[in-house]
């Protein structure tokens, strides 16, 4: 039973993959063995059908190559405009990725037809390759149909070139092909294809015609066709297996036998990686690719050191997890990595040992990890010699090496010159010692090559000037041959060791320097309190360490990237934006917008992305080596962590400040309200009690008492309004909202205004279908009281006031109408402002806070309040409140749909 | 109605207000005692045995609500609370603790005396009535027969739901007293519905439609906004 249960991890992966797929667009590839089989035609035919079915379709780019039938097939299919890219003195018409993304954003089921997946974009485009465009389209949820030939598949690339002798440079990672949602094989038997070729139906670029003629041989076509069909069959098989897994058919969960491709510094890394990719694909297992950087490798020229990185990039494209390890010895590091990552098979290139006493990598791996399988990949002949020659050239290209060699010769000559007067006093063996000393000096000062030269020159000079017969290369005593040989060997070995030591010491110093300046930077960052300081520290570090200009960009409140002061580099906003949005490095030396002069690194902090760091290396076009790049990454993460730390310090400070000020404001408000109200209350009360004194006051005195009382009451109202406004504005008011009928609030408002409204006719019309509203009854009552007070204040005594409540869709409108002069013209909105009154300097008391308070309260309820002058003259103030979702249960055991309508007024 | 002469305790920290309340009470013939804090107030309440207490909620040496709780352990004398505006929570707490009515500062002598009269009358009535003596309630044109559980309006029988009946009788049995939503919920629905204040409001609205002549301007079932209800004869 338990065997039937799917592996939970696998199920989780499946679910995650399904989710990711649901968001992504779907990719359909029309796959063929070679050009001319009709992929584009098939794609267009499918597109036509999809368009008829109502899909939002655009043709992104289709190469018709002037073929009439394809041209006809495109016909009136809607096309996206092409982008014109200036290239040297021409203008290239390229696919417009941004236009496609815009189109995709406008249509939910957008489908894009885009020919030639393997196409390389013109320099200056966002991505170097079209398949990267396609990835972005898919990520944006746009479906894409595209075409490709078998020879463009990365992992088959060298096989195809082996078969056909024609190397194709435009390749597509297998991952893209394997992850495509659908692959349609467009097949045409070779004979028919050749006929079409003869009939001129297959497009060939004029300059490629000869190579192509070679390509389109029947043998080649058969092989390509088989490759294409087999590759597709593999895919179908995978789908089948995926289906089986999903349907819980599998009984045994196999151990994943993951592979590790060991990339060496040589040219063959690529071959190892491709082989490993194929093995991994067949076994359907994960694989890693690793390059071990040993101290010895640091002596290599930069371009040689770049090579493994390119290979690792290739491996990544082929689907591997790639890593660079730094270790003194490759085999141990590989074994440790393999064990850590549970990789049971190591794939390495087969190397012949250079010397009999050397142990090959395979042997060392076997010694260290006898539980690991080591697969050796056959490597072709020896293109390495060529590579080595190239390397030598590169080395020659380093600054002024010939001077070093010249100096080596000069040192030897000087030694010979210095030694010649001593020849009568010194034994020849001691003169040999002098030469050895000179060679050690050369090795230390000028390095390995000059040391080798010095060894040979030294032996020659020694022979010529000192070994009898002197001043000839002839040797009288054969014993001296041994001296020469030993001297040469000792000179070479000492020279090599010394030079090696020196490079290692230099490398160590350099590293130490890097680490020390990182340490210094992190110490400075620890003391930084503002983002500007972080930017400045980072810029200083980058300038000192790389001589590079830099800029630190952080998002502002509106999420726009802004350069912090102190930036010395100017960054293309697009590159920075891209890197920030994706959280990936962009610009120079990466896959995205490599033409940009800047390398833009995302500043990833534990919580979120804090910005980007742009680095513009000072001079030279070389890509950054692995070590500087590592240093840069570390620098970027240090900056990110500092920015985050500063951010949280700010957050903590501002929230403490906010709490503090809120506390202060509240205590101030309550103190003021108590201290102002208490004397007013006493004033009102005492004015009242004055009337009760004996002997009874005269009528004039009573009048004065009434005035005192009224003034105190007015003052009290004013204080209340001011305090209410202050509370509302400071956000200190917490709504105490409860579901209630509007009628009750209207009732209590009318009750509190009863003395003011005495003698007026009040008409209250509340519709029967008003639902319960979610209100703070005290505050809404205040709104109504203020409106009613205004109505009483500004209209002639005795004129009627109407209160009308109706339901308008999902809002309830409550109006207070009077029959007075109406609102001052053009000031219907201004009267809601603080300290605004309808009529300036009017005799009516008040400071103009009532309506402002009304508006603040109603807005806090999510409603609106407006005032208008009605056509028939009076003013109408309308409060609109949202209905929300009233509770259904009225607590009487019956769920009432309309609890208020149930009872009719008797 | 006969003139009631009562002993009234005024607990208030502001001397001016205290004085005016005393003057107003004495003008009506009541006997007033002053206290300026919770402790002093409780002492006086114990020794003077007042018939009514006027209590300020913001006292310097303690919470007025604590005073009410302590007083209620041994006295049923009505308590009128003085509070400031926008302090509904304080009022509710005081009423729930046992206060009978409240006044918002600033208030006039007339208002105060009306409340005092109403409370003294209600208290005297409750003290004087014997169980079962008067099983009817009469207000406006509404007549409630408590024994037969019948309600009539202008001579016509009025149909009330059980909840409406309980609401009406609970409120009408303590006229002029402010009853909070919470107290009503507990009395009519029982404990466990303390937060469902819309129950009370919905049924109160229905009840008003049945017994008030103008439900939007009720005369008997008066709303105390944000606090509760008061029954007025």
Please give the interface size between A and B, counted as residue pairs whose CB atoms are below 8 Å apart: 162
Contact B201 A679 (CB under 8 A): no
- Chain B residues closer than 8 Å to A706 by CB: none
Contact A685 B85 (CB under 8 A): no
pTM of the model: 0.49
pLDDT level of residue A303 (50, 70, 90 thresholds) = low
What mean pLDDT value characterizes chain B?
Answer: 86
Paired tokens of A395 = 């080395």
Residue A744 near residue B223, CB atoms below 8 Å: yes
Give the pLDDT confidence of A98-121 residue by residue, as tens digits: 888 888 888 878 888 988 888 888
* pLDDT for the residue numbered A421: 85
Given a cut of 90, whether residue B11 has pLDDT beyond it is yes
Centroid of chain to Cα A327? 31
Given a cut of 60, whether residue A96 has pLDDT beyond it is yes
How far apart CA B77 and CA B79 sit, in angstroms, is 6
Q: What is the mean pLDDT of residues B84-109?
A: 86
Give the pLDDT confidence of A658-683 residue by residue, as tens digits: 888 878 877 887 787 778 888 888 88
What mean pLDDT value characterizes chain A?
Answer: 80
Within an 8 Å CB–CB cutoff, is residue B158 touching chain A? yes
What CA–CA distances, in Å, run from A811 to A735, A771, A783, B73?
19, 10, 17, 49
Given a cut of 80, whether residue A4 has pLDDT beyond it is no
Contact A741 B158 (CB under 8 A): no
Q: What percent of chain A has pLDDT over 70?
A: 86
Give the pLDDT confidence of A531-566 residue by residue, as tens digits: 888 888 888 888 888 888 888 898 888 888 888 887
Within an 8 Å CB–CB cutoff, is residue B160 touching chain A? no
Reduced to 3 states, what is the DSSP secondary structure of residue B215? coil
Given a cut of 50, whether residue A392 has pLDDT beyond it is no
Paired tokens of A739 = 């579901």
Given a cut of 50, whether residue A393 has pLDDT beyond it is no
Dihedral angle of Cα A115, A118, A119, A125, to the nearest 10 degrees: 110
Within an 8 Å CB–CB cutoff, is residue B85 touching chain A? yes
* pLDDT for the residue numbered A813: 93
Give the pLDDT confidence of A5-20 residue by residue, as tens digits: 556 676 677 777 666 6
Within an 8 Å CB–CB cutoff, is residue B16 touching chain A? yes
Given a cut of 90, whether residue A317 has pLDDT beyond it is no
Give the pLDDT confidence of A793-811 residue by residue, as tens digits: 888 888 899 999 999 888 9
* pLDDT for the residue numbered A19: 67
Q: Which of A23-32, A176-185, A615-624 is least confident?
A: A615-624
* pLDDT for the residue numbered A251: 36
Residue labelled with tokens 């009470």: B25
- Torsion sign across C-alpha atoms A424, A427, A429, A433: negative
Within an 8 Å CB–CB cutoff, is residue B56 touching chain A? no
- Chain A residues closer than 8 Å to B187 by CB: none
Nearest CA in chain A to B196: A891
* pLDDT for the residue numbered B34: 92
Shortest distance between the Cα of A136 and any Cα of chain B, in A, equals 53
Top pLDDT among B25 and A312 is at B25
Choose among A13, A11, A17, A16: nearest CA to A250.
A11
ipTM: 0.89
Q: Which of B197, B215, B225 sits opposite A781 (nearest CB)?
A: B225
- The torsion angles phi and psi of A281, rounded to 5 degrees, stand at -65, -40
Give the pLDDT confidence of A569-579 residue by residue, as tens digits: 888 888 888 88
Given a cut of 90, whether residue A822 has pLDDT beyond it is no
Give the pLDDT confidence of A721-756 residue by residue, as tens digits: 888 888 887 776 778 888 888 988 998 898 888 888
Top pLDDT among A35 and A392 is at A35
Q: What angle do CA A138, A143, A144 make, to 5 degrees?
A: 85
* pLDDT for the residue numbered A388: 36
Shortest distance between the Cα of B105 and any Cα of chain A, in A, equals 6
Nearest CA in chain B to A763: B216
Contact B86 A727 (CB under 8 A): yes
Q: Helix axis angle, A218-246 relative to A8-23, nearest 10°?
A: 120
Residue in B198, B208, B222, B229 to test binding to A, most A beta-carbons within 10 Å: B198
pLDDT level of residue A880 (50, 70, 90 thresholds) = very high
Contact B109 A689 (CB under 8 A): yes
Q: What is the mean pLDDT of residues B54-71?
A: 88
- Chain A residues closer than 8 Å to B217 by CB: 747, 750-751, 762, 764
* pLDDT for the residue numbered A905: 39
Q: What is the mean pLDDT of residues A432-446?
A: 86
* pLDDT for the residue numbered A385: 39
Exposure of A711 in the CB half-sphere (CA atoms within 13 A) = 10
Q: Which of B17, B205, B214 sits opposite A900 (nearest CB)?
A: B205
Strand ranges for A608-737 from DSSP E: 609-616
Top pLDDT among A304 and A74 is at A74
């Amino acid at each position: 039973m338990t065997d039937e249960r799917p592996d939970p991890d696998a199920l989780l992966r499946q679910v995650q993959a399904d989710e990711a797929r649901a968001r992504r667009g779907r990719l359909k590839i029309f796959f063929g063995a070679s050009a001319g089989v009709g992929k584009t035609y098939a794609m267009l035919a499918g597109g036509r059908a999809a368009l008829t079915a109502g899909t939002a379709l655009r043709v992104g780019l289709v190469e018709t190559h002037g073929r009439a039938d394809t041209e006809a097939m495109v016909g009136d299919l809607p096309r996206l405009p092409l982008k014109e890219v200036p290239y040297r003195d021409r203008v290239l018409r390229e696919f417009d990725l941004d236009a496609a993304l815009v189109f995709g954003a406008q249509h939910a089921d957008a489908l894009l037809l885009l020919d030639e997946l393997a196409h390389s974009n013109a320099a200056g485009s966002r991505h170097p390759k079209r398949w990267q465009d396609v990835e972005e389209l898919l990520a944006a949820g746009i479906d894409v149909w595209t075409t490709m030939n078998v020879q463009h598949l990365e992992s088959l690339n060298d096989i195809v070139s082996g078969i056909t002798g024609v190397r194709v440079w435009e390749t597509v990672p297998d991952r893209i092909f394997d992850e495509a949602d659908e692959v349609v094989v467009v097949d045409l038997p070779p004979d028919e294809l050749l006929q079409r070729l003869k009939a001129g139906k297959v497009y060939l670029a004029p300059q490629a015609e000869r190579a192509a003629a070679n390509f389109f041989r029947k043998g080649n076509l058969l092989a390509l066709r088989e490759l294409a069909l087999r590759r597709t069959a593999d895919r179908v098989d995978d789908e089948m297996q995926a289906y089986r897994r999903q349907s819980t058919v599998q009984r045994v969960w196999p151990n994943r036998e993951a592979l590790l491709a060991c990339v060496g510094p040589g040219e063959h890394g690529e071959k190892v990686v491709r082989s490993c990719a194929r093995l991994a694909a067949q076994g359907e297992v994960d694989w890693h690719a690793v390059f071990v950087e040993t101290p010895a490798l640091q002596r290599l020229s930069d371009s040689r050191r770049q090579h493994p990185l390119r290979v690792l990039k290739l491996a990544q494209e082929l689907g591997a997890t790639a890593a660079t390890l730094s270790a003194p010895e490759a085999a141990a590091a590989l074994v440790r990595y393999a064990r850590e990552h549970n990789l049971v098979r190591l794939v390495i290139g087969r190397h012949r040992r250079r010397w009999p006493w050397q142990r090959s990598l395979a042997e060392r791996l076997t010694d260290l990890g006898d539980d690991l399988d080591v697969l050796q990949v056959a490597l072709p002949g020896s293109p390495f010699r060529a590579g080595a020659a190239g390397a030598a050239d590169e080395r020659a290209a380093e600054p002024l090496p010939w001077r070093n060699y010249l100096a080596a010769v000069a040192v030897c000559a000087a030694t010979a010159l210095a030694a010649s007067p001593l020849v009568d006093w010194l034994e020849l063996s001691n003169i040999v010692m002098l030469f050895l000393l000179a060679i050690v000096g050369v090795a230390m000062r000028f390095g390995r090559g000059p040391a080798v030269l010095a060894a040979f020159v030294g032996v020659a000079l020694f022979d010529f000037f000192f070994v009898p017969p002197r001043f000839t290369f002839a040797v009288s005593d054969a014993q001296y041959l041994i001296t020469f040989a030993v001297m040469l060997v000792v000179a070479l070995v000492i020279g090599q060791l010394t030079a090696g030591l020196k490079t290692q010491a230099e490398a160590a110093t350099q590293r130490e320097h890097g680490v020390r300046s990182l340490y210094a930077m992190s110490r400075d960052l620890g003391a930084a309190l503002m983002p500007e300081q972080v930017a400045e520290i980072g810029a200083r570090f980058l300038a000192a360490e790389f001589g590079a200009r830099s800029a630190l960009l952080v998002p502002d409140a509106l999420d726009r990237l802004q350069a912090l002061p102190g930036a010395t580099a100017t960054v293309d906003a697009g590159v920075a934006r891209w890197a920030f949005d994706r959280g990936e490095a962009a610009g120079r030396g990466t896959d995205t917008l490599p033409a940009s002069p800047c390398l833009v690194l995302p500043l990833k902090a534990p919580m979120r992305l804090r910005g980007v760091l742009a680095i513009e290396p000072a001079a030279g076009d070389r890509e950054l080596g692995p070590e500087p790049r590592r240093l840069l990454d570390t620098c970027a993460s240090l900056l990110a962590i500092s920015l985050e730390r500063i951010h949280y310090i700010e957050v903590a400070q501002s929230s403490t400040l906010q709490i503090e000020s809120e506390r202060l404001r509240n205590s101030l408000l309550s103190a003021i309200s108590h201290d102002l109200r208490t004397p007013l209350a006493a004033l009102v009360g005492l004015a009242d009690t004055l009337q009760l004194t004996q002997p009874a006051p005269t009528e004039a005195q009573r009048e004065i008492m009434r005035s005192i009382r009224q003034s105190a009451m007015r003052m009290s109202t004013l204080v209340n309004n001011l305090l209410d406004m202050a509370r509302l504005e400071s956000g200190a008011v917490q709504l105490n909202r409860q579901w209630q009928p509007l009628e009750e609030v209207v009732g209590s408002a009318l009750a509190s205004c009863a003395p003011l409204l005495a003698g007026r006719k009040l008409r209250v019309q509340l519709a029967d279908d008003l639902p319960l509203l979610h209100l703070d009854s005290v505050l809404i009552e205040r709104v109504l009281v203020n409106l009613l007070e205004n109505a009483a204040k500004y209209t002639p005594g005795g004129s009627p006031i109407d209160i009308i409540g109706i339901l308008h869709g999902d809002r309830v409108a409550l109006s207070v109408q009077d029959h007075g002069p109406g609102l001052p013209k053009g000031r219907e909105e201004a009267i809601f402002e603080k300290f605004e009154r309808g009529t300036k300097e009017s005799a009516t008391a008040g400071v103009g806070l009532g309506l402002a308070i009304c508006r603040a309260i109603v807005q806090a309820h999510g409603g609106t309040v407006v005032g208008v002058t009605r056509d028939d003259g009076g003013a109408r103030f309308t409060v609109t409140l949202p209905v929300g979702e009233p509770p259904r249960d009225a607590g009487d055991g019956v769920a009432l749909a309309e609890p208020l309508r149930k009872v009719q007024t008797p | 109605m006969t003139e009631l002469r009562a002993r009234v305790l005024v607990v208030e920290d502001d001397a001016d207000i205290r004085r005016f309340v005393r003057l107003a009470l004495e003008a009506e013939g009541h006997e007033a005692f002053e206290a300026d804090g919770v402790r002093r107030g409780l002492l006086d309440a114990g020794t003077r045995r007042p018939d009514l207490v006027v209590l300020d909620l913001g006292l310097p040496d303690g919470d007025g609500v604590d005073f009410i709780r302590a007083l209620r352990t041994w006295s049923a004398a009505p308590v009128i609370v003085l509070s400031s505006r926008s302090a509904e929570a304080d009022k509710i707490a005081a009423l729930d603790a046992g206060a009978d009515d409240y006044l918002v500062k600033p208030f006039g002598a007339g208002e105060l005396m009306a409340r005092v009269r109403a409370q003294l009358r209600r208290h005297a009535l409750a003290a004087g009535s014997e169980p079962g003596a008067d099983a009817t309630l009469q207000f406006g044109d509404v007549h409630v027969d408590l024994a037969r559980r019948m309600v009539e309006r202008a001579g016509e029988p009025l149909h009330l739901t059980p909840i409406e009946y309980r609401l009406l009788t609970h409120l009408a049995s303590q006229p002029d007293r402010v009853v909070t939503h919470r107290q009503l919920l507990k009395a009519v629905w029982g404990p466990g519905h303390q937060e469902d204040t819309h129950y009370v409001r919905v049924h109160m609205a229905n009840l008003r439609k049945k017994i008030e002549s103008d439900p939007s301007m009720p005369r008997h079932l008066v709303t105390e906004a944000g606090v509760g209800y008061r029954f007025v004869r």
